[in-house]
């Protein structure tokens, strides 16, 4: 058995090295994407988002308001305009992401107790930037409003302790859980890289399987090397891919943990087992699509149709609980959905053991179903060739 397995592995490695597209897809693209995205998102958090200010009051109060907004590390007052029309034009052109509009007689109305309105327009097409702008502006405007009101009370001759006591509000203590620094490397990249790897793994295995399937000898030669043993046939073909892609995941995790200080609140062994299970299951998906596609184009099309939009169904950018039935089921059928949950559990969340094992159960179900379907299909092929 070991000799047959080694022969199948050698066969697969020779084909892998000789086929240029497959070589690039397996050995170059994963590392390229990992380091490219790590470089792109190395800052981790979004800062200095350019905004514009239209100050039609130009008083001490309006300047205090602008200074407080400019002090926010997430925002940068990049432009100042005299009218709202010019600021709107800059927003449409993409030169700024938000406009802060301070109306005329802002200070006068504030002193008179008329509660003047400060208007902020922000581009929410870019949801991440829009959310950060909303949060930063809300915090800055609330702080500025308190300072302005306090200063007004002090100027009226009210003692500082009395003025501060009149401004007391219900205290709120907000604590973002699991990712308190709001670092995109810990969440977005933690899911984006596995999603890209899932696409690459499936496409690589589709290429490998269809290469032999549509060859003149079909699967006859490689089945002979495996002594017509389906287990050896499958294991020998996927083992080189599994080992290399697991190495890529280990490298990715090592860089995140050692260089970018990704927390490891769970168990590293579970993180490793999750990576192996994810890679194995994705390989079986690729083999299944390669075996069942009636043409090469159909095999590639089926794999890309399932894998390509998967990031939208994993729950990272839109909660799965809020999805409709179709989207929820689609996400549940993807290996990467459960692998991302494993990654977040073992790095950021640190759940109990029962909760940690739940995504492993779903991965095991997917692996078992795909292995069964592939085995049944290969038995038909073996009967035809023997």
DSSP structure string for 111-132: HTT----EEEEE-TTSHHHHHH
Q: Are residues 80 and 10 in the same domain?
A: no
Domain count, the chain: 2
Q: Are residues 20 and 160 in the same domain?
A: no
Indicate left, alpha or beta for 261 from its phi (over 0: left) and psi (-120 to 50: alpha). left
Q: Are residues 187 and 160 in the same domain?
A: no
Q: Annotate 217-231 with DSSP letters as a single string.
A: TTTHHHHHHTTT-HH
Which candidate, 251, 270, 269, 267, places its Cα nearest to that of 259? Answer: 251
Q: What is the CATH number of the domain that holds 81?
A: 3.40.1710.10
Q: Are residues 254 and 315 in the same domain?
A: yes
pLDDT (tens digit per residue) in 330-382? 889 999 999 999 998 998 888 888 888 999 999 999 999 999 999 998 888 88
Whether residue 376 lies inside any domain: the answer is yes
Largest CA distance in the chain: 101
Supply the pLDDT for residue 50: 92
b/e for 28-62, b at 16 or more Cβ within 10 A?
ebbeebbeebbeebeebebeebebbbbbebebebb
Whether residue 211 lies inside any domain: the answer is yes
Whether residue 175 lies inside any domain: the answer is no
CA pair distance 193, 29, nearest whole angstrom: 11
Which candidate, 70, 91, 93, places its Cα nearest to that of 81? Answer: 91
Q: Are residues 142 and 56 in the same domain?
A: yes
Taking the CB of residue 267, how many other CB atoms lie within 10 A of it? 14
Q: Are residues 56 and 116 in the same domain?
A: yes
Supply the pLDDT for residue 154: 60
Token couple for 369: 């179903």
Query: What pTM was estimated for this model as a whole?
Result: 0.81
Supply the pLDDT for residue 180: 57
Q: Are residues 259 and 339 in the same domain?
A: yes
Supply the pLDDT for residue 169: 47
Whether residue 171 lies inside any domain: the answer is no
CA pair distance 124, 88, nearest whole angstrom: 14
pLDDT less than 50: residues of the chain: 169-175
Q: Are residues 218 and 288 in the same domain?
A: yes
Whether residue 178 lies inside any domain: the answer is no
> Exposed/middle/buried for 165, CB within 10 Å: 0-12, 13-18, 19+?
exposed
Describe the strand order of the beta sheet including 75-81 as a list of residue ranges. 75-81, 49-55, 98-102, 118-122
Supply the pLDDT for residue 163: 53
Q: Are residues 24 and 125 in the same domain?
A: no
Pairing of strands 98-102, 118-122: antiparallel
Q: Are residues 353 and 261 in the same domain?
A: yes
Residue 152's Cα: distance from chain center in Å? 47
Q: Are residues 110 and 230 in the same domain?
A: no
Domain stops at, among 137, 166, 195: 166
pLDDT (tens digit per residue) in 27-50? 999 999 999 988 888 776 778 889
Which range of residues forms the domain containing residue 117?
49-166
């Amino acid at each position: 058995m070991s000799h047959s397995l080694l022969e199948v592995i050698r066969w697969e490695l020779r084909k892998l090295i000789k086929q240029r597209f497959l070589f690039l897809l397996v050995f170059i693209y994963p590392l390229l994407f990992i380091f490219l995205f790590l470089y792109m998102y190395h800052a981790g958090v979004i800062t200095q988002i350019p905004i514009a200010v239209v100050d039609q009051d130009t008083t001490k109060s309006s300047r205090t308001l602008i200074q407080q907004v400019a002090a926010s590390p997430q925002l940068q007052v990049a432009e100042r305009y005299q009218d709202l029309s010019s600021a709107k034009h800059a927003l449409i052109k993409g030169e700024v992401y938000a406009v802060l509009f301070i109306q005329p007689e802002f200070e006068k109305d504030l002193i008179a107790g008329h509660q003047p309105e400060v208007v902020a327009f922000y581009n929410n097409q870019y949801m991440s930037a829009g959310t950060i702008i909303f949060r930063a502006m809300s915090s800055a405007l609330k702080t500025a409003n308190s300072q302005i009101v306090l200063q007004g009370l002090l100027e009226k001759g009210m003692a500082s302790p009395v003025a501060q006591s009149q401004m007391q509000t219900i205290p709120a203590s907000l604590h973002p859980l699991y990712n308190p620094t709001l670092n995109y490397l810990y969440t977005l990249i933690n899911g984006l890289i596995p999603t890209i790897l899932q696409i690459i793994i499936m496409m690589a295995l589709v290429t490998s399987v269809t290469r032999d399937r549509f060859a003149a000898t079909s699967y006859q030669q490689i089945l002979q090397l495996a002594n017509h043993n389906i287990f050896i046939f499958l294991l020998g073909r996927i083992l080189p891919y599994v080992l290399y892609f697991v190495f890529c995941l280990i490298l990715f995790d090592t860089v995140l943990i050692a260089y970018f200080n990704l927390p490891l609140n769970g168990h590293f062994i579970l993180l490793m087992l999750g990576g192996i299970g994810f890679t194995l299951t994705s390989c079986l998906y690729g083999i299944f699509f390669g075996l069942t596609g009636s043409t090469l184009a159909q095999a590639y099309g089926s794999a890309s149709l399932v894998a390509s939009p998967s990031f939208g169904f994993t729950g990272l950018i839109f909660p799965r609980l809020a999805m409709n039935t179709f989207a929820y089921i689609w996400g549940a059928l993807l290996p990467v959905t459960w692998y991302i949950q494993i990654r977040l559990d073992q790095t950021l969340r640190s759940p109990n053991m029962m909760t940690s094992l739940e995504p492993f159960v779903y991965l095991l179900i997917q692996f078992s179903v795909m292995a069964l379907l592939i085995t049944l299909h290969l038995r038909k092929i073996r009967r035809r060739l023997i």
